[in-house]
């Protein structure tokens, strides 16, 4: 087969969806030496050092080729650049996320990854222009798709129920974690280098991810008044949909000295950073999967997270769960972890065991099965 994959998110510091496509392609390069792969980018690797660096990490075989399609913006890329290329250079299958290309030839099978449909349940947290875009184009894309992939059983059910789609059209492949890398025991010197790089305190709570309103970071900030520890919030404050109420809450409650924003964390520094944290917090209101939770488990960091179905699905009994609207419950569970060494040890052991079940190799192998089923 000739298989096309949209890799525009790679090298853009986009957290979850970038991690997904990077590791999917990297593991397909190991699992499949027979089919031809065409990786579509909207930047020229020869001129974009970030993309060139990430492509090198993929360790691609000779059956993989990078296709750079120039365009004014992402809309025109989908509307003209990509469809025009596919018309002249037909493939058997094309894999992208969320929005299907316009006017894609009908004989090309479309695989569509939908990480989550949170915008349908928390529309108040999405800009009106973005919401209109999603509400208009995603139903059309789902109709065009030959197969829809999501990232958990919980999200699979939500997509089927919300969009009234035939269940057999939607499948899921769990996200994974590089267990060897995240569980590797970093030396005191390596950790100290990371501490200095991001100006981190000796003891701290940690959150890693986007800083959107649905991530519910405010609930942990409110719990900080009763906790004698710093809170490190790792993510881009200048990113799209940043929750402005975070700054307001810090200012209002005088927590400037207790909250630390190190900014974007380089991927190679994440394992050591997680291992340094006393507790990882993940208070999200809605997730399709929750990659940072599995990464924290692999790193051996105890977790306090929201009691939502998907985190129960992947976290099982290896975390302490809280009502996502109850700041006091977050404070109490964080204190339990800080004060009870036996509890910490129990959560760490369970977390490491659970995280080993989620591998990017499995993600790639199941995705390849889906590709072959459409041949």
Task: List, for residues 111-169, the tens digit of each pLDDT value.
Answer: 999 999 999 999 998 888 889 989 999 999 999 999 999 999 999 999 999 999 999 99
- Check residue 257 and give its pLDDT: 94
pLDDT at 12 over 90: no
pLDDT at 15 over 80: no
Q: Is 45:55 a contact under the CB 8 Å cutoff?
A: yes
Rounded Cα–Cα distance for residues 370 and 267 (Å): 29
Bridge partners, residue 114, by sequence? none
Domain shared by 34 and 105, yes or no: yes
pLDDT in tens, 175-228: 999 999 999 999 999 999 999 999 999 999 999 999 999 999 999 999 998 899
Mean pLDDT within 90-112 = 95
Domain shared by 283 and 189, yes or no: yes
Rounded Cα–Cα distance for residues 349 and 346 (Å): 5
Q: Which of 335, 206, 304, 301 is nearest to 261 (CA)?
A: 206
HSE on the CB side for 256, CA within 13 Å? 4
- Check residue 74 and give its pLDDT: 85
Domain shared by 189 and 275, yes or no: yes
- Check residue 127 and give its pLDDT: 85
- Check residue 72 and give its pLDDT: 86
Domain shared by 172 and 188, yes or no: no
Q: What is the domain count for the chain?
A: 2
Domain shared by 192 and 335, yes or no: yes
Mean pLDDT within 227-244 = 91
Sheet containing strand 230-234, edge to edge, reads 259-260, 230-234, 204-208, 279-282, 303-306, 320-322
- Check residue 343 and give its pLDDT: 98
Domain shared by 153 and 264, yes or no: no
Domain shared by 265 and 346, yes or no: yes
Domain shared by 312 and 363, yes or no: no
Domain shared by 33 and 73, yes or no: yes
Q: Which domain holds residue 338?
A: 179-355
Domain shared by 245 and 136, yes or no: no
Quote the crossing angle between the two packed helices 153-163 and 128-144, to the nearest 10°: 90
- Which CATH number is 228's domain given? 3.40.50.2000
Which residue do the tokens 């307001």 mark?
A: 248
* DSSP characters over 83-150: HHHHHHS--SEEEEESSPPTT--TTSEEEEE----GGGT-GGGS-HHHHHHHHHHHHHHHHH-SEEEE
Domain shared by 153 and 169, yes or no: yes
Domain shared by 268 and 327, yes or no: yes
């Amino acid at each position: 087969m000739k298989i096309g994959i949209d890799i525009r998110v790679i090298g853009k510091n986009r957290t979850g969806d970038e991690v997904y496509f990077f590791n999917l392609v990297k593991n397909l390069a190991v699992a499949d030496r027979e089919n031809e792969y065409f990786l579509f980018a909207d930047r020229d690797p020869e001129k974009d050092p970030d993309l060139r660096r990430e492509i090198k990490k993929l360790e691609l075989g000779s059956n993989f080729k990078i296709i750079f399609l120039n365009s004014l913006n992402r809309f025109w890329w989908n509307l003209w650049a990509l469809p025009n290329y596919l018309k002249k250079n037909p493939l058997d299958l094309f894999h992208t996320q969320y929005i299907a290309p316009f006017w894609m030839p009908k004989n090309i099978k479309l695989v569509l990854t939908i990480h989550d449909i949170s915008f349908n349940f928390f529309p108040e947290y999405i800009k009106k222009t973005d919401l209109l875009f999603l509400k208009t184009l995603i139903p059309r894309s789902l109709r065009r798709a030959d197969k829809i992939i999501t990232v958990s059983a919980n999200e699979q059910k939500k997509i089927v129920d919300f969009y009234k789609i035939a269940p057999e059209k939607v499948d899921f492949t769990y996200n994974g974690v590089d267990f060897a890398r995240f569980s590797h025991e970093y030396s005191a010197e390596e950790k100290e280098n990371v501490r200095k790089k991001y100006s981190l305190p000796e003891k701290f709570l940690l959150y890693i991810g986007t800083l959107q309103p649905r991530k519910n970071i405010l609930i942990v900030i409110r719990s900080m008044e009763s906790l004698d520890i710093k809170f490190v919030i790792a993510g881009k404050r200048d990113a799209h949909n940043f929750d402005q109420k975070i700054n307001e809450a810090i200012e209002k409650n005088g927590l400037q000295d207790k909250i630390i924003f190190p900014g974007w964390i380089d991927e190679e520094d994440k394992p050591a950073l997680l291992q340094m944290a006393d507790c990882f917090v993940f208070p999200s209101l809605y997730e399709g999967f929750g990659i940072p939770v599995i990464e924290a488990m692999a790193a051996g960091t105890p977790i306090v997270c929201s009691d939502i179905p998907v985190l129960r699905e992947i976290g099982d009994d290896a975390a302490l769960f809280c009502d996502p609207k109850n700041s006091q419950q977050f404070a109490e569970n964080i204190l339990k972890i800080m004060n009870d060494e036996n509890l910490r040890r129990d959560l760490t052991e369970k977390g490491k065991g659970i995280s080993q079940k989620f591998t990017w190799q499995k993600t790639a192998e199941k995705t390849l099965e889906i590709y072959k089923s459409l041949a």
